[in-house]
Amino acid sequence: MKHTHRIYARLGFLLCAIAVALGAFGTHVLKEMIGDTELNTFDTGVRYQMFHALALILLAMTHRKFDEKKLDLVMGLFFSGILIFSGSLYLLATRNIWGNDSFRILGAITPLGGVCFIAGWLVLFFKGFLPEEEKPEKLESESHSRRHHHRKRSHSSSDAKPDKEV
């Protein structure tokens, strides 16, 4: 796995852990401090963070099937979307706790995070996969090598003489 993809996979793991922690925090602590509308807003942030953190992990783990530049763009869009969309929802939902209503302006940038998510998914839909003829030769040779090795092992095990019964 390429170094960049490892970073995105690890980032996805961390973002999933944070989403679980924030979800538990919302359920057990925030529900006593904020109203149902704000709690629903907070939960929406957690849900979108989890979905897109899992997408980062999946994309990083299957990176060889995608155009590298497009994949880097998509992973950047998903990460930005998590920061902008989910992050602004967390702040908006809890702004009354901080006693400062200055976070209200964040409502105007929340949709930008949503646009990042949508753009990332559309890039994958239209341009994400590598065309069959452009797959790296290394993958084809690795695949051939694995098939050859598997054939060799299965033949050698069938050539072995069975133990004599006593």
DSSP string of 8-39, one letter each residue = HHHHHHHHHHHHHHHHHHHHHTGGGTS-HHHH
- HEC per residue, 58-96: HHHHCHHHECHHHHHHHHHHHHHHHHHHHHHHHHHHHHH
Domains of the chain as residue ranges with CATH: 3-154 (1.20.120)
Question: Tell me, what's the pLDDT at 166?
Answer: 47
Q: What is the CA radius of gyration of the chain?
A: 24
pLDDT in tens, 43-56: 999 999 999 999 99
Bigger pLDDT: 127 vs 57: 57
Question: Tell me, what's the pLDDT at 133?
Answer: 64
Per-residue confidence band for 145, with pLDDT thresholds at 50, 70 and 90: low
Q: Can you give the length of the chain in residues? A: 166
Task: Return the half-sphere exposure (C-beta side, CA atoms, 13 A cut-off) of residue 73.
Answer: 14
